Structure 1
Amino acid sequence: MNPELLEAGAARLAGARAARPGAVLSPGAVDLRHGRILYLDEVSVSFDGFQALDRLSLDIAPGELRCIIGPNGAGKTTMMDVITGKTRPDSGQVWFGATLDLLQYQESEIASLGLGRKFQKPSVFEALSVWDNLSLAVRGSRRVGAALWRPLSGEQRDRIDELLQLVRLRDCPERLAGLLSHGQKQWLEIGMLLAQDPQLLLLDEPVAGMTDQETERTAELFLSLRGRHSLVVVEHDMSFIARIAEKVTVLCEGRVLAEGTLPQVQADERVIEVYLGR
């Protein structure tokens, strides 16, 4: 490892001693002094002899929109599972900012640190309206009961209006979430994640099953979020990747195979061989 990374690692370890594991910190507490919001250092994971991640290293800059591509079984989902605490690695380190060692936190605690994850299948309250779904998210509650009866502040109502505009649902706040199109459900869930003001969003195949128009609107949404949030997007739709990509990381057999702009990785013979084809 080069001296810069060694110095950054030492600072993280020192900061981790000051950050009590399990403490609930505000997103603003993420320390970005080293110019990284997420850093994986030689992370390995195996399942019953299968090497899902093999000394994977990855770093994401604040405000960056990073696309992750690769064949099935490349380790993309396992990587996200490690970042969010769902899977514990056999070895390696995972840092959120300069001081938060994510391996010291439980899965339920990591979301409170300013990190949000969206799975491929949308997860919304289908029996509630779009507004009520966002209302629960703005309140920071996943419990439907009494939470919906608590009055919203003016600031919270303004935030919901802002989110409705952002995710293209301002025309249907009273519609039941179960009646939305697939793409609209995806946008609603993204809005619910944004209500928690995460600094980093992990998005797993966000345009799978969308129409062309919905895919284009999703691209516009992600580009509008770039800079305000860091985004890590795992996706197979190469036209969508081409629309939004700044930097692309190609995973294969649990390791980084190539990294760079989309034209650079598309021209890489190794990527052509294992993923893109000729």
Structure 2
Amino acid sequence: MTEGRIIKALSGFYYVKTGDEVYQCRGRGNFRKKKISPLVGDKVTYEAENPTDGYILSIGERRNELNRPPIANVDQAILVFSSLEPNFDDLLLDRFLVHIESHAINPLICITKLDLVNEEEKNMILAHADLYRRIGYTVLLTSSETGEGINVLRPFLDEHISVVAGQSGVGKSSLLNALDTTFNILTDSISSSLGRGKHTTRHVELLPVGTGYVADTPGFSSLEFSKIEADELAGCFREMDRLSSECKFRGCTHLTEPGCAVKAGLQDGTVSKSRYSHYKQFYDEIKSRKRRY
């Protein structure tokens, strides 16, 4: 048996890397019976008579895993959002952040396509970036066309497995191509009729960048809170999580209770109105999901 890491999954095959070699493998037959599905990022043991005929024998314990995109053992998530085409969407960004925070994965926010904005639009983007930085997130501003911010991003990727995720058409593939021109990842323009990008990435694959790996993943435009409970939601908002211990009542929902430190923070500007509004929207969504069950 040999140990390696799955770096790509495609059409029922898993490509396992050991050192500089990559072996094409299938999963063991009993994986399906046990409802075990290997994921990109998994550390595995396998045996292979040749580079194109191997079998995965076991899967190591996972530190974390995501469903959309399907990947395991992620160190950080690079959440890519465009300035324009499609327009910057802070509601969707907060949805992504909650999803990533709930898996205890460190997010890094990357706002792309700065070359498309005018001065007024750029000031709006800078204001958003400042808000999220004050909360405690790393925010990078980039342009794959001009190269702005690309070298600033590189050091964040070393020694990590990073997943690049975001709405379709925001420039994820272009960003990766800018990091390494040999990738030649297919990109496509925004659909003028739909106002969103076409899906140009069809599978999950770990790509080597510096001393780390970056996963190019299929784009998607929404995330359901299927595994997050209402009483866990505030813990996924960093500024609210910091204030929660100061609330008068344990288990405060930050909605109607007196003596709520989060609502006090809303008054003094510690908590932004937009973030609090998104919190309430997500809370109602989760409670509605519970009622349907």
* Larger Rg belongs to: 2
What is the TM-score normalised by the length of structure 1? 0.22
What is the TM-score normalised by the length of structure 2? 0.21
Q: Which gives a bigger RCO, structure 1 or 2 (Cα 8 Å, sep 6+)?
A: 1
